[in-house]
Structure 1
Amino acid sequence: MIRPMGQFKVEQRTKDAYFNATSLLRQWNEITGSKKELKDYLSNKATKELIATIIERENLNRDNSPYLSNRGKNGGSWMHPVLFMDYAMWLNASFKYDVIKFVYDQMIAYRNEAGDSYKELASAVGKLVGKDFMRVAMSKVARGINYCVFGNHETLIRNQYGDEKKMRELFSFQRKVADLINEGFLKSFDGTMEYLKMMFERMHTPKILLAK
């Protein structure tokens, strides 16, 4: 299949998702007037280290290495998607910026989502308790949510999880509790804690022990 990448068109195989490095290099040299060669990228020490890392992390072998070269109708040099991204960034500084900026923007969005969901929760809990009890209430609610999402609680436990899926589960759960309070389903602090207790039992009790 052909995928657009800025002003270039990159070819990707459906059978293994590998990209045609030869085609991209040809387009790059034609458009820019450059004379870059694939061998220069492959001989780079950092490239060799990346190839070794991909092989190790994804349990690849000689027949399915991150870099394959063949002749014929579909000939050329084909690269594993991770290697191809690095290769494209080596070719094009502008594309490298776009990739880094995209990752950076995702990190900022991720951080903002974390802050926003916590603020929504705090605002909702503030409707149930007075200012004097707010700090204690938020501590207990946050602790209860930690137990539900992580199955445990300890200081800074949220910082110990780099798993994006788990953290998004946390953000979603915080918003869920906030919505239940705002919509009137959870009418008190005690009721909120009872709800968290119920959810913990539902989420972490082995299914065989749950009453039918």
Structure 2
Amino acid sequence: MSFSTALVWLSIHPIYRHLLVLLCGIALAKVMNMVVILWCYSRHNALLWQSAIMLLCPSLFLALSFTCDDIFTLCWTLLLSWFLLALCVIDIRCYLLPDKLTLPLLWLGLISHSNASTATLRDAVYGAMLGYLAMRGIYWAGKKLIGREGLGYGDFKLMAALGAWLGWMSLPLVATFASVLGMVLFLLRYIVTKNSGALPFGPSLAISGLVIYISQPTLYSG
């Protein structure tokens, strides 16, 4: 069976596609656990986090398999979701968004548009550039006005990566949704734990970016 025939077969038989995606999610959850341990090696709650990843990654993959009919779109969506979930976990655990994940994510975003129209690819390039510059500007303004670093350099690069995947026109939506989500998460944490310390912004960006990426065909269809 050729590769193209296999893709057609998976498209015609959704139940097998969902099963394959679930199995891929389980396998990639194990890879994600190794990646997280690489940057956040700690025995504190390690088993809890590993179990959470083994549950979250396959569940997310399975849910996404119902959102995409086109097998190529599904593959790109799963790739994006894997990177974003890994970045979420690492940022929550050790307040870090590693360059070795954010930079490949940026390049993959540009590559995902390589077969699209020139205008779409241009929007992705502008998205990467403006995403980085906008976050850098917010960081600089916050540091000058209130004397605090509200964002990290990893946030700049994650926003640039999301700009590459989504295009520059989606950046205001990502920033708005991420800001609202960040405030909600901060309030919930404060209500539950009375902790008013810094909250990593990477997960809010990642969740907002993935939701908008999945919703884009609906948002811009008219």
Mark yes or no: TM-score above 0.5: no
More helix by share: 2
Q: TM-score, normalised by structure 2?
A: 0.26
Computing the radius of gyration from Cα coordinates, the structure with the larger value is 1
Q: TM-score, normalised by structure 1?
A: 0.27
Give the structure, 1 or 2, with the largest relative contact order (CA under 8 Å, sep 6 or more). 2
